[in-house]
Structure 1
């Protein structure tokens, strides 16, 4: 990424990658759909029951597998597997307000199905539930929490997603919204596009970023490779 500014805070316009990619890999929550309110309702109730400071805890759980978040807390007498399953049941029940990121449905529907995948920290049952709630069709390829032994920021998910599409991660563009996922994409060797639709504050990463998909589209280049382009 030779033409990227170190900080987009000072960049006067949105920049897009000029490279054509063999595949696109999308995180789910916060990247193609907005489940922020629902997730924070469920996790907030759990955190309060555990005696945690809810306001400081909630930002730490986004983009990671539930079991990884709970295990990292080292709460005495708590079984992370059982607690993660309890939270999962709550998240599956509560999809109120889950909606697509603006323009995501149109953007995804224009992609060749064999050229893109979802790589999410959510378990498969929750991923399917939220996709249905947001009106986003299930993709042909999806990597979920059950498919990896270590979650984001470990790159395992994005490496596996690339393998399932038959491409090298260096030939893929990862779409992400939080640091754990961004770091996972970086570690996999992929380029990264940051989606800022659900951001409440600036994340300075040096990567391209867009607020959503309303103003961009996909162009199919020679050999079926994918380009992100502005509409019009």
Structure 2
């Protein structure tokens, strides 16, 4: 999955990127405004050509506004729901990971997304990085615990198309990282996306433990 513009994973090229902007906007935009909202720059002329094509296919509605045109997605088009779902691929992935983690026989103290994918910068070649905090009373060699980690990693890879790397720490190891001021802790405080269990704010509190 291309995390900055997940729709382009299924609708490659500028068409998918323009559609994603229109879904997120939820309001009429000029072609220049659409171009300005693209995470990866594209020429206004190229954006206008794509918008004209989408208008011809009825997916987008163009409304005159003085010398400009305002573009909105056609919510009555049969493709609208599919477009909206594609624009939410990252959110849907996180929801799936959350549902699996919360179904574990041995609950984790926390599961977070971190690294480039958490920052929305990862592409199809980037790892999907998950940090899992193991309860202190669970042995790191418990077969049931290890099976949960392996299954989540395999599923997340299938769901996203990205290799999934699971980094695991016990709750005590996390407290030690916080106490020693490790760089990873700073990165997690800035970028980690909570998925299940305690949030980074709760877990990485300097006074914890």
| Structure-2-length-normalised TM-score | 0.28
Higher helix share: 2
- Greater Rg, structure 1 or structure 2? 2
Scaled by the length of structure 1, what TM-score is found? 0.26
